[in-house]
Structure 1
Amino acid sequence: MMLKLVLSTMALAALAGSAFSQQSERPQVSQCQLIAEGLPHVQYANFTPPASGAPALTLAQVQEDVVITFVGHSTFQIDTPGGISIATDFNGWLRTSRTPDVVTMNKAHSSHYTLTPDPAIGAVLHGWNEAEPGQPIQHRLVVGDAYVRNVPTDIRSWGGAMEPNGNSIFIIEVAGLCIGHLGHLHHELTDTHYGEIGRLDIVMVPVDGGLTLGADSMSRIVKRLRSAVILPMHRRGAPVESFLSMFDGGFDSQISENRGFTVSMRTLPKKPLILVLQGV
């Protein structure tokens, strides 16, 4: 039976036989941060064929494909090779194709969270600290073949003041990929933030042009992250072309006819691609 976990700072989910574990004394090692710390002398992983005479890997043994689907607004559904489903900025009324195992939330608006999630959801991760407002929340969750962690950022309140640690950038590490969701980001990132984030192969970026960050500020973040795939989201009013116009020939762009795509370490584009999924 699935158990809903509202996970607080470094809480330990000691569930025998469960796929969920929240790391405590010995946290999961982040491959995304390890690679980032090695820059500029990073050496990316490559595929080494089996030695002569060794049995070849079958397609079933090489489980590396991740499916990412744009559900709406800031919600994406991420389906891992191991069958885990994760929904970002989950609000309960934008319907995913299945009940997620894990959902992440941010509280800028009701379109980014729900206080009454489906009890069948395995883990509910808030991007803010409910118990100690203003203090950072920390999630380090291993579920199946995925590792979910967060990097807290500040958020702008309705009155205009900045609330410390009210938003989280959630990072999903799966099948060698580092997938980041910037949430309702309200300020440019510091060097400390970039260090905590590490490498992002795929990044989900709000492109509303001002409700979060202006296009110029957001484009600077994207250029520094230098992700292989940039997925615009949270478009309100401003045409997506306004965001695309901030990038030169160092980035490709594509308007997709589909709401989702399949990706792996092998299929990441060599040149950064801004991929606008159907529905954005």
Structure 2
Amino acid sequence: MMLRLVLSTMVLSVLTGGALAQEAQRPQVSQCQLIAEKIPNVQYANFTPSASGAPALTLAQVQEDVVITFVGHSTFQIDTPAGISIATDFNGWLRTSRTPDVVTMNKAHSSHYTLNPDPAIGAVLHGWNEAQPGEPIEHRLVVGDAYVRNVPTDIRSWGGAMEPNGNSIFIIEVAGLCIGHLGHLHHELTDTHYGEIGRLDILMVPVDGGLTLGADSMSRIVKRLRSALILPMHRRGPPIETFLSMFDDSFDTQISDNRGFTVSMRTLPKKPLILVLQGV
């Protein structure tokens, strides 16, 4: 997969003393939100070469490869160019290849979180507010070359009622990439949500067909975000073809023999690609 997109900006923050701060010491500007214009007519900017045609940054100036591995269920391991490891929807029993520096969690089911994470994990980010249930939680964490933030969403309780701000969409910004994990999403997104999310180059989307959202509703979210790479996850019951059938030929699809891949801004596909990793 090749791309003519140019890496224009990279967020870097160097850890000192080997300790991970739970929150950034200074306000961090999201490179993914900056290109989102006024709601409700959210529009997304394109990356273009400079006027001279030369890249904004060369390979010699920046490390850009990010490794993404599907661990299982809704857990992905994201390894950054600077060696930071981030695990999504970390539940403690799906094992990553190394102890993560950062884990994100959602509380919809026990398969999406653990209240007893390995103490060696540097930062544990809950998608819900433990201290003030119902109130949104906010994470703005800079770790090495990664910036992790969240957009709170509601969840459906076991009784069927909606719990406000019970989960989060987590967004990892690294090496110019905007990577979004929808978590255990239970409702369609509003214009405000889309504005808070901004651009997503890579989207991790649940495709269970009803435990989260039905395929039709979820496909509308995917089509509006129009990420370059769409990674299905959280598949239970319906065959993956049920989800894939919601998209026309404006999206490519690929069934991979591998659980992971390496990606950068320069190698994102030109046309949106739904990439089904091994194990999904």
TM over 0.5: yes
Match of residue 10 from structure 2: none
Cα gap change, 1:165 to 1:78, in 2 (>3 Å): same
Match of residue 181 from structure 2: 181
3-state SS in 1 of match to 2:36 = helix
Match of residue 154 from structure 1: 154
Match of residue 101 from structure 1: 101
- One-letter code of the match for 1:272? P
Distance 2:166 2:58 in 1: 45
Q: How far did 1:36 drift?
A: 2.0
1:248-267 pair list within 5 angstroms: 248-267=248-267
Q: How far did 1:41 drift?
A: 7.3
TM-score normalised by structure 2 residue count: 0.88
Distance 1:237 1:128 in 2: 27
5+ long unaligned stretches in structure 1: 1-14
Match of residue 42 from structure 1: 45
Distance 1:43 1:211 in 2: 34
Match of residue 3 from structure 1: none
Q: How far did 1:243 drift?
A: 0.1
Residues 20 and 144 in structure 1, CA contact (< 8 A), matched pair in contact too: no
- One-letter code of the match for 1:91? N
**CA deviation digits over 1:228-250, x for unaligned, max 9?**
00000000011000000000010
Q: How far did 1:50 drift?
A: 7.7
Residues 73 and 234 in structure 1, CA contact (< 8 A), matched pair in contact too: yes
Cα gap change, 1:57 to 1:189, in 2 (>3 Å): closer
Match of residue 22 from structure 1: 23
Cα gap change, 1:45 to 1:103, in 2 (>3 Å): farther
3-state SS in 1 of match to 2:246 = coil
Residues 104 and 127 in structure 2, CA contact (< 8 A), matched pair in contact too: yes
5+ long unaligned stretches in structure 2: 1-14
Match of residue 224 from structure 1: 224
TM-score normalised by structure 1 residue count: 0.88
Distance 1:43 1:275 in 2: 22
- One-letter code of the match for 1:175? A
Distance 1:233 1:93 in 2: 17
3-state SS in 2 of match to 1:137 = coil
Distance 2:29 2:45 in 1: 17
- One-letter code of the match for 2:45? V
- Paired residues, number: 260
Cα gap change, 1:21 to 1:116, in 2 (>3 Å): closer
Match of residue 236 from structure 1: 236
Q: How far did 1:37 drift?
A: 2.6
Residues 19 and 144 in structure 1, CA contact (< 8 A), matched pair in contact too: no
Q: Percent of pairs identical after alignment? A: 85
Cα gap change, 1:167 to 1:137, in 2 (>3 Å): same
Distance 2:43 2:86 in 1: 32
Q: How far did 1:21 drift?
A: 5.7
Cα gap change, 1:77 to 1:46, in 2 (>3 Å): farther
Q: How far did 1:27 drift?
A: 1.7
Residues 21 and 143 in structure 1, CA contact (< 8 A), matched pair in contact too: no
Distance 1:167 1:58 in 2: 37
Q: How far did 1:40 drift?
A: 4.1
3-state SS in 2 of match to 1:188 = coil
3-state SS in 2 of match to 1:36 = coil
Distance 1:252 1:194 in 2: 23
Distance 1:22 1:254 in 2: 38
- One-letter code of the match for 2:249? G
Distance 2:213 2:172 in 1: 23
Aligned Cα root-mean-square deviation (Å): 2.0
Q: How far did 1:22 drift?
A: 1.3
Distance 1:276 1:198 in 2: 24
Q: How far did 1:44 drift?
A: 1.4
Cα gap change, 1:264 to 1:237, in 2 (>3 Å): same
Residues 129 and 166 in structure 1, CA contact (< 8 A), matched pair in contact too: yes
Match of residue 274 from structure 1: 274
**CA deviation digits over 1:5-40, x for unaligned, max 9?**
xxxxxxxxxx9633536136x520000000123864
Q: How far did 1:46 drift?
A: 3.5
Match of residue 126 from structure 2: 126
Distance 2:73 2:45 in 1: 35
Cα gap change, 1:111 to 1:50, in 2 (>3 Å): closer
3-state SS in 2 of match to 1:22 = coil
